[in-house]
Amino acid sequence: MLKPFDMRVASRRLRAALSVFAAAFPPKPFAVTEKEVAKTTDALGAVRDSDVQIEFMEAAIAAAPESEKVGLLAFLAHLQSERDRERVLLVKELNRLEKSAFTKDFHKLLGDRAGAVTHG
């Protein structure tokens, strides 16, 4: 199973590939697919951004003088709360995507191109 960071990287790569090959697909179904990928990438990115901020704050707290740690710890708690909120939204987005017709629609969009990609 992919970790959230790996999923984010994969979704960003998919978005980049979609933009490169946009002209090869029918506009309306492509736009729907692109929008779905963007929503998922955004949700993954929000969690990753929070994780990066938390890592930074933890390092800052470790290096900070005792007189500054109370305020930094309070801010860290705020960041952790935000990350928890973003994770809930991410799980909802992933569940929504899993229950949707995205996979079927994506394969339909690829059509014969999917066989060429997966079978060399």
In a domain, 35, yes or no: yes
Helix (H, G, I), strand (E, B), or coil: what is residue 18? helix
Count of domains for the chain: 1
116 lies in some domain:
no
Asked, for residue 65, whether it belongs to a domain, the answer is yes
**69 band by pLDDT with thresholds 50, 70 and 90:** very high
- Mean pLDDT within 67-81: 97
Contact 5, 48 (CB under 8 A): yes
Q: Is residue 115 part of a domain?
A: no
Answer yes or no: is 120 within a domain.
Answer: no
CA angle (94, 102, 84) in 5-degree steps:
10
Residue 114 falls inside a structural domain = no
What's the domain range around 14? 4-18+27-109
Please say whether the beta carbons of 15 and 48 come within 8 A.
no
Within a domain: 76? yes
Residue 117: inside a domain, yes or no? no
Contact 67/34 with Cβ under 8 angstroms? no
Percent of all residues in the chain with a pLDDT value above 70, rounded to a whole number: 88
Supply the pLDDT for residue 2: 59
Residue 39 in this model has a pLDDT that exceeds 60:
yes
Ranges of beta strands (E only) in 19-95 are none
- For the stretch 98-111, pLDDT in tens is 999 998 988 888 88
Instruction: Please report the pLDDT score of residue 120 as a whole number.
Output: 46
Residues near 7 by Cβ (< 8 Å), separated by ≥ 6?
A: 44
